[in-house]
Amino acid sequence: GAGVSQSPRYKVAKRGQDVALRCDPISGHVSLFWYQQALGQGPEFLTYFQNEAQLDKSGLPSDRFFAERPEGSVSTLKIQRTQQEDSAVYLCASSLLAGSSTDTQYFGPGTRLTVL
């Protein structure tokens, strides 16, 4: 496909379960971002990859959150021992370049996570 895809689109987890969210960026895009969007709020930055290197993970809320991009393409965001406050839409975005202030980020449709 031409755009950023994410799977699953919806995920319901019981409190304490581990979840894994997948992002397929646009082919050839160097930069990949994860954001968390709570209901009624704007997206908040979680982490940034340049190819396979995780250059910034300052937005990850706790050590239960872990992200990887081992081959510099597909990325996975893993949340361990989910809590109700983790319920949100998780957005992935990719951009062609690295370190550019004018490069466009292309967003996926997001994964809506609900923790019961």
Q: Which residues would be at the binding site for another protein (CB under 8 A)?
A: 4, 31, 33, 35, 40-45, 48, 50, 55-56, 91, 93, 95, 98-110
Q: Please give the Cα distance from 23 to 69 (Å, whole number).
A: 9
Q: Which is nearer to another protein, 44 or 68 (CB)?
A: 44
Nearest approach in angstroms of CB 58 to another protein is 9
Q: Which is nearer to another protein, 65 or 90 (CB)?
A: 90
Nearest approach in angstroms of CB 116 to another protein is 21
- Is residue 9 within 8 A of residue 112, CB to CB? The reply is yes
Q: Which is nearer to another protein, 7 or 95 (CB)?
A: 95
Cα 7 from chain centre: 11
Nearest approach in angstroms of CB 86 to another protein is 19
Could you tell me the two tokens for 22? 């997948």
Q: Which is nearer to another protein, 39 or 71 (CB)?
A: 39
Q: What are phi and psi of 75, to 5 degrees?
A: -125, 150
Residue type, 115: V
- Is residue 31 within 8 A of residue 21, CB to CB? The reply is no
